[in-house]
Structure 1
Amino acid sequence: MHKRKLVITQNLGNGLIDKIREIIPDWEIIIGKEKSIWTDHLNEAEVIVSWKKEMEGMISNQSKLRWLQAWSAGVNSLPLHELEAKNIHTTSANGVHAYPISETIFALMLALTRKIHTYVKNQQTKIWDHAGLNLEIHGKTIAILGVGAIGKETAKIAKAFGMEVIGFRHSGKPEEYVDTMYTLEHLNDVLPQCDYVAVTLPYTKETHRLFGMEQFKLMKPSSFFINIGRGNIVVEQELIKALKDGEISGAGLDVFEIEPLNEGSPLWELENVIITPHTSGSTEHYTKRVIEDIFIPNLKSYVQGGTPAINLVDYKKGY
């Protein structure tokens, strides 16, 4: 009799492995980042934790896969149509990033507002210059596009700065720390009020190239644009033009249309841009949170015959 099989394509500490084994003591568990560790086990795996690009085409129609736990909050890189067609449950790592990404959002906002990026460059060349510093963040208005776990934490921090918080979410449902909530249909109406716009949306058909020149022209010339969502939510060439033409004051960008960002991109050279290499969600607690907060509770439900409900992806919505 073949054992049921779990494949985890990440390295886990013994403590986390022991917690998983307590729930499924009779399963065979394959764990490790190296492709050679898990390649031969894919078709026999009933559950896979952490999808890898190399897996595409390696899972046959005879696969026993019933549930995939993604290692990221965004699932647009997964073969969602294939997973849906095969009735495979997919759960995301949504919620794991709330602390590190909200910290990154404010790090970028504060750095741009207080010209920290300019002073760091000046320090490298030993230039003592005021650089026209005159803005502060307290009491300003922020629009948060996408009030999920990240957006909620960002709104909470914004209130510590006495900010007016405007939120956007698909349902329009009110949320604590958000003063006014809208759906995206009202985006253009709200943008002229905002000093900061932070994009935390997932990438879907509805959010594809959502933000372009029309939206940048509606923003204040003194405003800042932060994108930690996905690069294809923004028309990158129009963002570059808006930054060059002074339609907005600056941008903090963690995601791009093509990654890694091409060395020839003008974004590298713009003085009013801070670039981070899609690292806003990186944290010392990442693995622990994915396993303990999402995977283990879902695994307990799954082995009892239920559906893994935490962060279950809605294939119709794409997230």
Structure 2
Amino acid sequence: MIGIVPAQGKSRKPFRGGSAVERNPVVVVSFPADNEARTLLGRELGEFSRLVFLKDLIDPEKRKAALESADVLLSFILGREISSPELLFLKKLRLFQSLLAGVDALPFPFMPKQAVLCSNAGAWAEPLAEHALCMALALGKNLLPLHAKLARGEFDNSRESLWFRRASAAILGFGGIGKATARLFRCLGMEIRAVNTTGRTLEPVDWIGTLEQLEEAVRDANVVVLSLPLTRRTRGLIGKRELEWMREDAILVNVARGALVQEEALYVHLKANPSFRAGIDTWWVEPATHGEFRLQYPFFELENFLGSPHNSNLVKGIFPVALKAAVDNVCRFLAGEPPLGVVDPADYVED
């Protein structure tokens, strides 16, 4: 399928969940879709919509015309796909659907005001939960420093590690990623404390509260996992005070966004408290958002620190799963149903 894929004939009216799906909307795909992605998109959307693959349109005028006609925009990393001036062409856009769960990098001042903006919340949850578990286990079992000692010829089998079956986890952010992480931790027999926006959940937990109860959530937790979106409210959430609330030997794992944690405060706390450990997958300055990877402090000189290059979501077979979740939300919207993962720009843009 190249360029524009016309809607199929109208011999059979598509339905979704008992609702008639709107016919002939223009769905613009701005990310470079491979053959597998195009097949999935054609199967799920091609029957009742006009698919336009933006990467096939070299002529700037054709790109402009496609964007001006778009009812739905399906994007992966928007900043690499469409320039800010081009966003002004989206005058009739009704739905922006991201393939990403985190949308803090969106250029909100340039996003069309009339469009509903949706994240792909929960679509990448299982791989991120596995990564959080692996980081917690590696840190809790002291694998890195013990490996380093063995490499130096030191056979130190005297160091105790965390017994996870008798431990507790505070999961800050209890959406798709947080719930998936809780399910894995429960398999180890851990106590689960959760923090979300409502203080309520149907998921089995031992305690749940809101950010107003953050101190209570983290104070005695052996493991603290960050799976929150990065918003105005959560930026810099974990600083000196919050780190001091935590156990001296706590494990902090961040698979959400680097800026949830104050960089200087974390480094100072790790250096001053060798029994405190941190695992970081998401960073303050990353290539995808800043064009480079850069740290202000030498975290990797610390043996109580573990890092990975924001690749917790990169597992074989995940992209079609995430794409299908995003496409399902597009279908939900076009069927007149409330879409999932709706984002309020006011949560991200400073006054």
Global fold match (TM > 0.5) = yes
1:5–1:45 CA contact under 8 A, matched in 2: yes
The size of the alignment, in residue pairs, is 313
1:104 aligns to 2:134 (yes or no): no
**1:95 touches 1:150 (CA, 8 Å); kept in 2?**
yes
Q: CA deviation at 1:35?
A: 8.2
Q: Match of 1:218?
A: 245
Distance 1:151 1:33 in 2: 38
Q: Distance in 2 between matches of 1:4 and 1:178?
A: 42
Aligned residue type for 2:341: N
Local SS of the residue matching 2:131? helix
Contact in 1 for aligned 2:149/2:156 (Cα 8 Å): no
The yes-or-no answer on 1:94 pairing with 2:121 is: yes
In structure 2, the residue matched to 1:250 is: 277
Equivalent residue for 2:101, pick from 51, 64, 73: 73
- C-alpha change, 1:16 and 1:110, in structure 2 (3 Å) is same
1:276 equivalenced with 2:308 (yes/no): yes
Distance 1:47 1:252, change over 3 A: same
Distance in 1, matches of 2:238 and 2:179, equals 21
Moved more, 111-120 or 53-62: 53-62
Q: 1:248 to 1:126 in 2, by over 3 A?
A: closer
Of the three residues 15, 24, 27, the one matched with 1:6 is 27
Q: Letter of the aligned partner of 2:104 in structure 1?
A: N
Identity %: 25
Tell me how far 1:195 sits from its aligned partner: 0.9
TM-score of the two chains, using structure 1 as the length reference: 0.87
Matches within 5 A, 1:44-55: 44-50=69-75, 51-54=77-80, 55=82
For 1:196, the aligned partner's letter is: V
* Mapped contact 1:11–1:33 kept (Cα < 8 A): no
* Contact 1:168/1:182, CA 8 A, preserved across alignment: yes
Q: Does 1:196 pair with 2:223?
A: yes
- Asked if 2 retains the 8 angstrom alpha-carbon contact of 1:159 and 1:177, the reply is no
Give the SS at the match of 1:193: coil
The superposition leaves residues 29-65 of structure 1 with CA deviations (integer Å, 9 ceiling, x where unpaired) of: 2165998899554333332211421422222256332
d(CA) in 2 for partners of 1:313, 1:29: 24
Deviation at 1:10, TM superposition (A): 3.3
- 1:127 corresponds to which of 138, 153, 166: 153
CA RMSD of aligned residues (A): 2.8
Task: Indicate conservation of the 8 Å contact 1:75/1:318, yes or no.
Answer: no
Q: After superposition, what is the alpha-carbon deviation per residue over 1:205-237, rounded to whole angstroms, capped at 9, x for unaligned?
A: 111111111111121111111111111111110
Preserved CA contact (<8 Å) 1:236 1:256: no
Shift of 1:293: 2.5
Give unmatched runs, 5+ long, in structure 2. 1-5, 7-23, 288-292
TM-score by length of 2: 0.80
Deviation of 1:191 after TM superposition, in Å, equals 2.5
Tell me, yes or no, if structure 1 residue 15 matches structure 2 residue 39.
yes
**Counterpart of 1:20 in 2: which secondary structure?**
helix
Change (3 A) 1:108 1:29: same
The within-5 A match list for 1:120-199 is 120-122=147-149, 125=151, 127-130=153-156, 132-135=158-161, 136-199=163-226
Q: Per-residue CA shift, 1:62-120, capped at 9, x if unaligned?
A: 6332221112101111123443x621111111111211011001100000111222344
